[in-house]
């Protein structure tokens, strides 16, 4: 059952914010949907956006400048929250890069996170089923993209489910989380100390074993303050070479990790997805 938090007209379509009880998470979850005007007369492809650390279901819709493009291209946009909230788990709110706002789009295996921090199952299974049952969404045309932690999530979800997603792109993804502080912190808590179990959630390692059947677009700013310590796009590039993955990894001078960077290249990503999804 959906609860409408708000709905407003935007570019002749509707931007809406919703909540619902999630069976995957075992708690309430929030998400946003932009329905372009074409959705009033036809079922449309759906493009899922996964946000980064500390973000919510509002961040992308407000900051990215994507809604006008979605209206022009005839794409439904969906953005889930980045984690469950308010569960009262020990340590859940102690740091900005773990717990609340930092679900890392995996299914946790360690206590006390195992029951509720199941963002992978939520994003890849429950949320699409909910969208397709309640909105004018096609069930055969889905794309996925994201930023930073969400870029990691988009790549992992598409690599694990290539038949479910006809397109995938990323902005400044955490490409090799097993090898960087953000990923090591999240994986050790969510998955436990056995690093062998972490590999199932690392895009660079997954890509070496099972490349995505289409080309992947990744944009990375060279003035990104997290580039050297956290993002490691070179690992993704090496994985693509090893597996034969078609990868367009574009590096951009002077751009950082912010939504100013995303705004600058969002049109490229939206058109990329439209070419794969709209037919």
Which residue of the set 22, 83, 148, 167 is catalytic? 148
Known catalytic residue at 204:
no
Pick the catalytic residue from 116, 257, 269, 273.
257
How far apart (Å, rounded) are the C-alpha atoms in residues 38 and 73? 9
Q: Which residue has the tokens 């996964």?
A: 50
Phi and psi angles of residue 78, each rounded to the nearest 5 degrees, phi first: -130, 130
Identify whether 148 is a catalytic site residue. yes
CB 44 within 8 A of CB 38: yes
End-to-end CA distance of the chain: 31
List Cβ neighbours of 12 (8 Å cut-off, separation of 6 or more). Answer: 36, 37, 71
Q: Which one is catalytic: 224, 232, 269, 273?
A: 224
* 257 carries an active-site annotation: yes
Q: How many CB atoms lie within 10 A of CB 93?
A: 15
Q: How many residues does the chain have?
A: 279
Could you list the active site residues?
148, 224, 257
């Amino acid at each position: 059952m959906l609860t409408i938090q708000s709905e407003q007209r935007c570019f002749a379509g509707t931007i809406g914010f919703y909540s619902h009880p999630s069976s995957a998470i075992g708690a309430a979850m929030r998400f946003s949907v932009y329905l372009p005007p074409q959705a009033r007369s036809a079922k449309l492809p759906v493009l899922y956006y996964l946000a980064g650390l500390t973000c919510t279901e509002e961040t992308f819709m407000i900051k990215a400048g994507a809604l006008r493009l979605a209206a022009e291209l005839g794409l439904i946009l969906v953005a889930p929250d980045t984690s469950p909230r308010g569960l009262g788990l020990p340590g859940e709110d102690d740091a900005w890069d773990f717990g609340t706002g930092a679900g890392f789009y995996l299914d946790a295996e360690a206590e006390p996170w195992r029951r509720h921090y199941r963002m992978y199952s939520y994003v890849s299974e429950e949320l699409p089923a909910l969208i397709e049952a309640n909105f004018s969404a096609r069930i055969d045309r889905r794309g996925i993209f994201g930023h930073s932690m969400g870029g990691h999530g988009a790549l992992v979800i598409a690599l694990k489910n290539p038949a479910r997603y006809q397109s995938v792109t990323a902005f400044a993804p955490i490409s090799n989380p097993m090898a960087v502080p953000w990923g090591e912190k999240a994986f050790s808590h969510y998955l436990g100390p056995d690093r062998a179990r972490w590999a199932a959630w690392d895009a660079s390692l997954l890509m070496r074993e099972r490349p995505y059947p289409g080309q992947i677009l990744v944009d990375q700013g060279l003035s990104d303050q997290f580039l050297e310590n956290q993002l490691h796009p070179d690992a993704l590039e090496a994985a693509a070479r090893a597996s034969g993955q078609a990868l367009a990894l574009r590096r951009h001078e002077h751009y950082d990790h912010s939504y100013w960077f995303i705004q600058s290249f969002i049109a490229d990503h939206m058109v990329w997805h439209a070419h794969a999804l709209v037919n």
